[in-house]
Amino acid sequence: MNRKIIIFTIIVMTIALIGLMGIQIYWIKNASAVKEASFQRTVTEVLAKVVNKIEKLEKRKASETNPYEGMLNFNRHLLYERFITEPLLDSLILLELNIRGIDTRFEFGIYNPERDLFLLEKDPGLRKSLIEKGSAARLFVSDIYTSPEYLLLYFPHEKQFLLTELWGMLLISIILIIVIVYSFTYTITTIFHQKKLSEMKNDFINNMTHEFKTPISTISLACEALSDRDIVRSPEFTENYINIILEENKRLATMAEKILQTAVIEKGQLKMKRERIDLHEVITDVIKNIRIQVEIKDGVIRKQCKAANPVLIGDKVHLTNLVYNLLDNANKYSPRKPVITVRTENISNGILLTIEDHGIGISKEEQKKIFDKLYRVPTGNIQDVRGFGLGLSYVKAIVEEHYGRISLESEINKGTTFKVFLPFTE
């Protein structure tokens, strides 16, 4: 997929997601406003009911005390002191609230604003909140002789109570949003990963075609020369060309083997022999093979094999390939006069193999990726070194098969040191 299309899709999806979240927040806010309004309605209803009951009680008490006085003006203080006590009011309100399913702490009081006086109250500490935030209903509306009194009702935990009512909805919304955001980021990272992989595969195919093309054309040229009847053929001439064909053929076989080997690792079908191997012998063999390539570039390979015990249990072919790959890299990535040092020493029940070069080095960022299959450091135009990006992933797999560890230290333009620890496993 085109990079621009991917970025465009990400932007559109992000906007859609933010929009969706916005709508969600809007709906939740709306729902909470509706809840608040309905709560307020219920509270007004409760107040009306309680006021009604108080008035009925007052009438009854007044007529009981003094029928004449009751009709005109009953002594209100007497009423609050004797009959409408705080526990009675508390239970009246509680009953009405319970009927309507409101189960949260409440405070109340009877207040006369003209005289700024509380005739009755539950908690004197909450007077201010009661006046400022409480709901009010007037008592004794028909009583025109005395200054108005109000029944105040206040819920200190109103917000929390309403929130718990919305809690389920909020929780589901949050979970859904998390699921969507997670799937979205997962999809995006997968797309980028796949894109990277497909680019790497393309590079690999390009590289492979180039690598195979050179020996193939050399072989075909050599064959042409051999079959050309006009050329006078001496035995040396023929031998020379046959040698070229054999060499190139070997190169082709090695490359094919490398690709096949990677496929085998991929399938998890790598089989290791377990035989006694002298690592120093392996190193000597590999150096013998690679020396010419290094010397062509005026380079040297130094061998400092100090391990007193170089014998371990492992697979000779794979360990040879391992050393070869590391030495091949050290040579390939040293553009001028490679100076390569191979060291061994015995540490903590095993052998530490160190391969050091003074080549182009690898940046910290790239160091994390070079063991990935098909990964090659993009060297731009500076280097024209061919490779499949398979060597180090193979090396890592082999080290792990031998229960070992591999690490590296590297600095750009200073050089690289690969350290391979192989334990004795007996």
Q: What gap in Å lies between CA 49 and CA 139, rounded to an integer?
A: 11
Q: How far is CA 13 from CA 26, 180, 188, 193, in A?
A: 20, 11, 10, 19
Quick one: which of 43, 352, 390, 406 contacts ligand ATP (CB under 6 A)?
390
Nearer to ligand ATP, 329 or 344 (CB): 329
Within residues 52-111, the interface with Mg ion by CB under 5 A covers none
Nearer to ligand ATP, 277 or 362 (CB): 362
Contact of residue 109 among ligand ATP, Mg ion, none (CB under 5-8 Å per partner type)? none
Binding track over 304-333 against ligand ATP, x by CB under 6 A: ---------------------x---xx-xx
CB of 308 within 8 A of CB of 351? no
Query: Is residue 321 at the binding interface for Mg ion, with CB under 5 A as the rule?
Result: no
Nearer to Mg ion, 391 or 415 (CB): 391
Contact of residue 359 among Mg ion, ligand ATP, none (CB under 5-8 Å per partner type)? ligand ATP
Within residues 329-358, the interface with Mg ion by CB under 5 A covers 329
Q: What minimum distance in Å lies between the beta carbon of 253 and ligand ATP?
A: 15
Q: What minimum distance in Å lies between the beta carbon of 293 and Mg ion?
A: 13
Contact of residue 376 among ligand ATP, Mg ion, none (CB under 5-8 Å per partner type)? ligand ATP
Nearer to Mg ion, 310 or 391 (CB): 391
Query: Is residue 392 at the binding interface for ligand ATP, with CB under 6 A as the rule?
Result: yes
Contact of residue 135 among Mg ion, ligand ATP, none (CB under 5-8 Å per partner type)? none
Nearer to Mg ion, 329 or 344 (CB): 329
Contact of residue 324 among Mg ion, ligand ATP, none (CB under 5-8 Å per partner type)? none
Nearer to ligand ATP, 47 or 322 (CB): 322
Asked whether the CA dihedral 21, 25, 30, 35 is positive or negative, the reply is positive
Query: Is residue 262 at the binding interface for Mg ion, with CB under 5 A as the rule?
Result: no
Query: Is residue 416 at the binding interface for ligand ATP, with CB under 6 A as the rule?
Result: yes
Contacts of 125 (CB under 8 A, 6+ apart): none
Q: What minimum distance in Å lies between the beta carbon of 325 and Mg ion?
A: 5
- The backbone region for 180, taken as left when phi is positive above 0, alpha when psi lies in -120 to 50, beta otherwise, is alpha
Nearer to ligand ATP, 215 or 361 (CB): 361
Q: Give me 63's structure tokens.
A: 């007529």
Q: What minimum distance in Å lies between the beta carbon of 387 and ligand ATP?
A: 2
Q: What gap in Å lies between CA 301 and CA 287, rounded to an integer?
A: 8
Nearer to ligand ATP, 314 or 361 (CB): 361
Contact of residue 389 among ligand ATP, Mg ion, none (CB under 5-8 Å per partner type)? ligand ATP
Contact of residue 404 among ligand ATP, Mg ion, none (CB under 5-8 Å per partner type)? none
Within residues 359-388, the interface with ligand ATP by CB under 6 A covers 359-362, 370, 375-377, 387-388
Nearer to ligand ATP, 394 or 421 (CB): 394
Contact of residue 388 among ligand ATP, Mg ion, none (CB under 5-8 Å per partner type)? ligand ATP
Query: Is residue 391 at the binding interface for Mg ion, with CB under 5 A as the rule?
Result: yes
Contacts of 222 (CB under 8 A, 6+ apart): 241, 242, 244, 245, 248
Q: Please name which of 96, 103, 105 lies closest in space to residue 126, comparing C-alpha atoms.
A: 105
Give contact residues for Mg ion (rule: CB under 5 A).
329, 391
User: Which residues lie near ligand ATP (CB under 6 A)?
Assistant: 325, 329-330, 332-333, 357, 359-362, 370, 375-377, 387-393, 416
